[in-house]
Amino acid sequence: MYDYKWPYPLEYDREEIINADVLVLGGGIAGCMAAIAAARAGQKVLLVEKGATKRSGAGGSGCDHWESAATNPCSKVTPEELTQAMLHDNDGFNNGISHYIECREGYDRLLDIEKMGGKIRDTEDEFVGAEFRDDGTKFMFAYDYENRFTLRIWGTTFKPAMYKELKRLGVNIVDRVMVTSLLTEDGIQGARCVGATGIHTRTGKFYIFNAKSSIICMSRPARIWLFSAELPGLCEFRPPQCIGDGHAMGWRAGAEFTMMEKSVRAEFSAAGRSYPPYGAGNNHNTWYAASIIDSRGKEIPYADRDGNILKDVKDRFRPAKGQKFFMKGGGIDFPKYEIEGPETLPFSKMIEEGYKLPFYADLTDLPEEERKVIWGMMVGQEGKTKVPIYQNYTRQGFDPSKHVLQCYGAGWTSASFLPQERQLFGLPGGFFNDWTLGTNIDGLYVAGDALYASDCYGHAAATGYYAGRHAAKYAKVNELKHWDKKQVEDEKRRVYAPLKNDSERGIGWKELNMAIAKTMQNYCGEIKYDDLLKVGLSRLKEYEENIIPQTFAYNPHELIRLLEVFDILTVSKIIIEASLARKISMKSLCFVRGDSIEDDSSKEKLIVIKQYDGKVVTREVPVNYFGDLKENYEKHNQDYI
């Protein structure tokens, strides 16, 4: 606890107005690529980012692999095959449009990023001759070495390269501003989006952004069930300021959402329950296919999908007999048989067979290029591993040819969470989109993690660029509409209110976040019941009506943290409303009801939910609402093809 004077000038209530053709909300991977696309289409682009665009967002510090680059010259899988596999793997509960865009355009974006200065090839010839390397293109592949659709990348170089490109293109970048609301025509909920409001995270200044079209490129929600007042930065996998502001302001503006009832038992990164991601023993993702040994040094074998033990390390990178391809990477927890890849024996079986705990990840006996590509390239490039894991462990004496790293959970989680400790992870809910990545709100587009069933770097980059193109197209044929004065004044009152409350009796952002998380664990935990969900909802409404008016913030930094928690509260309400609307247990949505009804008419339907005039409105949409992937993609993208 320090007693320093706030170091920045306080500019509460001061107002700045900025106009643009295309407004990009959020400067992560999706936001940067959206702004680049719109600027290349000749539009005047404004990008607003809460942190610092150079390194902001979940992928700002790095990334080690790029999934679904189906159109790269070495790939043996088509975009259609890959998207269909992703849809099938989730019984249809996946975003066919956005993942088809990822499969179809992801490789184009990689080449784009390379031109900007990002490293995507082994240009130093460090891995010449390795089985995962194509010596012609110098591309390095991960997981399925035969089908070659996932590339290993030097992701720590990507974000600064995008930042440079934004500047080169003349994009107006406004850093350190939290976007707080969407502005709609005449202030009417559900009407055309005409811009947004924001507040400076250091000075508290108020911003009005006025644009022809807007793109939400903000994160998926977080800190709904998980919170630690001491270590809020370690609560979730994604950065602490990425908590789903976009979802909350979209809901208030009348945008449609889907799959918001889906949550999973937390996997990692909550303070206290887990170890640094990819920094403890595991054999998934960054660490695939490390050997796993027990505490006597005995190796736990890998098996293919049929249970055949794989004797050779090389077999860990090949599809099983009769299998076209397998998938690994983010969000593949319990894969379907068709795409199931090699895996160490299930945890229960290991114990049954007498393997002794704890287990360790062991790179010592791997072929040298496999060891070097995991400990070195992958661990050196993944999001939060370069400095705290690769550099620090090396400095402390970790030698991958000698040491083995302890596992703390079964598989890739490195954690032990309780059932009610949940996360929006593994293709969670988000904005409902059409083939332009547009929403039900005219002029409002969505990309990256804000979309429903989103995941991974390539998905963010590909959908960002795509939404940027379509938002630019919209801006070219639509006039700039003025914002509604009353809507702005109401928002100003809302965001500054906590500053005027009583500090002595005040409730801070941490206290409120903790209360919301406890409420969600109690009333909207692993198993849902109508009765409990309804009580949970009324608790949240009580917070909204009685507690928010008592909240207090000492400075602009605390104020934006508090506004984030207001957004967390809104998102929690969406989750409970969506859970109430889904009456049956659904394995594909990790949704369990203790009072599931017999009727399964909604089984293959997405529940699409929005708010209108203070009421919740739901409708059901078939999971395959997007129609034929190739045909519809081509219909909407003639100018790109």
Partner 1 sequence: MREMPAANPIIYDSSKCIGCNRCMEVCQVDIFIPNPEKGKHPIVAYPGECWYCGCCVMECPVEGAIELRHPLMNKVHWVEKSILMKNNKE
Q: Note whether 5 binds partner 1 by CB under 8 A.
A: yes
Pattern of binders to partner 1 over 507-536, x per CB under 8 A?
------------------------------
Q: Note whether 354 binds partner 1 by CB under 8 A.
A: no
Task: Report the nearest approach of partner 1 to the CB of residue 511 (Å).
Answer: 14
Out of 124, 230, 312, 631, the residue judged to bind partner 1 by CB under 8 A? 230
Q: Note whether 357 binds partner 1 by CB under 8 A.
A: no
Sign for the CA dihedral angle at 387, 388, 391, 392 comes to positive
Q: Note whether 89 binds partner 1 by CB under 8 A.
A: no
Task: Report the nearest approach of partner 1 to the CB of residue 163 (Å).
Answer: 10
What lies within 8 Å, CB to CB, of 601 at 6+ separation is none
Q: Note whether 233 binds partner 1 by CB under 8 A.
A: yes
Q: Note whether 111 binds partner 1 by CB under 8 A.
A: no
- Which three-class secondary structure string do you get for 515-568? HHHHHHHHHCCCEECHHHHHHHHHHHHHHHHHHHHHECCCCHHHHHHHHHHHHH
Cβ-contact 53, 173 below 8 angstroms: yes
Q: Note whether 334 binds partner 1 by CB under 8 A.
A: no
Q: Note whether 51 binds partner 1 by CB under 8 A.
A: yes
- β-strand partners of 361: 292, 405
Of residues 539-578, those binding partner 1 (CB under 8 A): 557
Q: Note whether 232 binds partner 1 by CB under 8 A.
A: yes
What lies within 8 Å, CB to CB, of 503 at 6+ separation is 552, 554
The structure tokens listed for 438 are: 């547009």
Out of 20, 218, 266, 280, the residue judged to bind partner 1 by CB under 8 A? 280
- β-strand partners of 134: 139
Q: Which residues of 512-526 are buried (b: 16+ CB within 10 A; e: fewer)?
A: bbbbbbebbbebbbb
Q: Note whether 409 binds partner 1 by CB under 8 A.
A: no
Q: Which stretch binds partner 1 (CB under 8 A): 45-53, 248-256, 600-608, 625-633?
A: 45-53
Residues listed for the chain = 641
Q: Output 103 or 377, the one with its CB closest to partner 1.
A: 377
Q: Note whether 239 binds partner 1 by CB under 8 A.
A: yes
Q: Which stretch binds partner 1 (CB under 8 A): 269-277, 345-353, 540-548, 580-588?
A: 269-277
**CB neighbourhood size of 283 (10 A):** 24
Q: Note whether 56 binds partner 1 by CB under 8 A.
A: yes
Q: Which of 422, 453, 451 is nearest to 223 (CA)?
A: 422
The structure tokens listed for 221 are: 């929600």
Q: Output 221 or 383, the one with its CB closest to partner 1.
A: 383
Phi and psi at residue 195, in whole multiples of 5°? 145, -155
Task: Report the nearest approach of partner 1 to the CB of residue 498 (Å).
Answer: 18
Task: Report the nearest approach of partner 1 to the CB of residue 289 (Å).
Answer: 17
Q: Note whether 279 binds partner 1 by CB under 8 A.
A: yes
CA distance 205 to 556: 9
Q: Note whether 593 binds partner 1 by CB under 8 A.
A: no
Out of 201, 214, 283, 433, the residue judged to bind partner 1 by CB under 8 A? 201
Q: Output 408 or 496, the one with its CB closest to partner 1.
A: 408
Phi and psi at residue 431, in whole multiples of 5°? -60, 140
Task: Report the nearest approach of partner 1 to the CB of residue 295 (Å).
Answer: 6
Q: Is 47 helix (H, G, I), strand (E, B) or coil?
A: strand
Of residues 129-168, those binding partner 1 (CB under 8 A): 156
Q: Note whether 392 binds partner 1 by CB under 8 A.
A: yes
Cβ-contact 149, 82 below 8 angstroms: yes
Q: Output 65 or 202, the one with its CB closest to partner 1.
A: 202
Q: Which stretch binds partner 1 (CB under 8 A): 75-83, 113-121, 223-231, 589-597?
A: 223-231
How many CA atoms lie within 13 Å of 260's alpha carbon, on the beta-carbon side?
31
Of residues 10-29, those binding partner 1 (CB under 8 A): none
Rounded to 10 deg, the angle between the 530-542 and 509-523 helix axes is 170
Q: Which of 215, 356, 341 is nearest to 288 (CA)?
A: 341
Q: How far is CA 527 from CA 308, 395, 430, 575, 588, in A?
A: 36, 45, 21, 14, 15
Task: Report the nearest approach of partner 1 to the CB of residue 517 (Å).
Answer: 15
Task: Report the nearest approach of partner 1 to the CB of residue 366 (Å).
Answer: 12
User: Which stretches of the chain bind partner 1, using CB under 8 A?
Assistant: 1-2, 4-5, 7, 50-52, 54-57, 60-61, 156, 176, 201-202, 229-234, 239-241, 272, 275-276, 279-281, 293, 295-298, 360, 362, 364, 383-384, 386-388, 391-393, 398, 402-406, 408, 557
